[in-house]
Amino acid sequence: MRYRRLGPSGLQLSELSLGSWVTYHNQVDVDAAVEMLAAAFDAGINFFDNAEAYALGKSEEVMGQALRRLGWARDSYVVSTKFYWGLVREGCTVNRRNTLNRKYLMQAIDGSLRRFGLDHVDLVYCHRPDPHTPIEETVGAMSDMIRQGKALYWGTSEWSADEIRAAWHIADRHHLHKPVMEQPEYHLLHRQRVEKDYARLYEDIGLGLTTWSPLASGLLTGKYREGVPAGSRASMDSMAFLRDRLTDARRNEAVAQLAPIAAELGGTLAQLAIAWITKNPRVSTVITGASKLSQLQENLGALAVADRLTPEVMARIDAITAPLAQ
């Protein structure tokens, strides 16, 4: 395993990390989480990503229970959470969901720490931008989480370049803790924001990236070339919004064209897709997901494939995927 600095900070994250969206609680119970966290840790992974909204808080509970059973030293791993969506889905939701106001944020961090069973998280993100809350209020609340020792670094997820820059300048002007990382979707078919929109931010403020969805929700594994297989993510009712994108004919044809390249490199399509992301030096870590140990082990094999990605191979991959990338 190799390690990279998280943006301008001194924190080192493993090149690959393990996330919990969709899987924890829904597909992965505490026993399975213990098994996969242990395997990931043994392979050198030190960053485990989560969010308040994942399984409405249950994902944090599963990860927290697994971490307690594993008994690792707290300084040996990095754990994250994210806030915006909230946990309330019915009844009075004012100030309790789809917001980044101070009241919600300061109560949300306390709730997450209870579910994790931790006294602090290492990374905390604003899960989406909130156009209805003054950005000064959000920046102040996030900075206070760090000042209070409840989180160590803060950042954003799926914010625009202008929103990130505004937050950074407000923090700089008022001597508050600045955002150091962004968590964007990034894969072979989704590149615009990472490669173009954020381009100036890497040099201007040192922005780090903890990217998600390296396999485009499974599309880049090739599993959707013949439709939606039973047991796949797209077969879940809660993920129905992904089906049209995952079964898109042009995208699946591109995946078919990538298969021979993966084979030439001695890897799978999934390994090729993950390896391609690691070639971007702006990415601090690639968040991978797995519902079973075999998937985690396959993902780890991407590191060997990355070493075989020559400029010529990268150009071949780009010729196939860039025309379809968003």
Rounded CA separation 10/48 (Å): 18
pLDDT at 34: 97
Q: Which CATH number fits domain 3-324: 3.90.190.20, 2.40.30.10, 3.30.70.890, 3.20.20.100?
A: 3.20.20.100
Write down the catalytic residue from 3, 24, 54, 77: 54
Rounded CA separation 287/71 (Å): 23
- Judge whether 54 counts as a catalytic residue: yes
Rounded CA separation 114/97 (Å): 19
Bridge partners (DSSP) listed for residue 264: none
DSSP per residue, 206-258 = --EEEEB-TTGGGGGGTTTTTS--TTSGGGSGGGGGGHHHHT-HHHHHHHHHH
CB 57 within 8 A of CB 86: no
Over its length of 326 residues, how does the chain's per-residue pLDDT go in tens digits? 999 999 999 999 999 999 999 899 889 999 999 999 999 999 999 999 999 999 999 999 999 999 999 999 999 999 999 999 999 766 667 778 899 999 999 999 999 999 999 999 999 999 999 999 999 999 999 999 999 999 999 999 999 999 999 999 999 999 999 999 999 999 999 999 999 999 999 999 999 999 999 999 899 999 878 766 665 665 566 666 676 787 888 999 999 999 999 999 999 999 999 999 999 999 999 999 999 999 999 999 999 999 999 999 999 999 999 999 99
pLDDT at 249: 87
> Amino acid identity, residue 310?
T
Give this prediction's pTM.
0.93
Q: Using the CB atoms, write b or e for 197-206: b if 16+ within 10 Å.
A: ebeebeeebb
CB 28 within 8 A of CB 62: yes
pLDDT at 110: 98
Cβ partners under 8 Å of residue 43, min gap 6: 1, 300
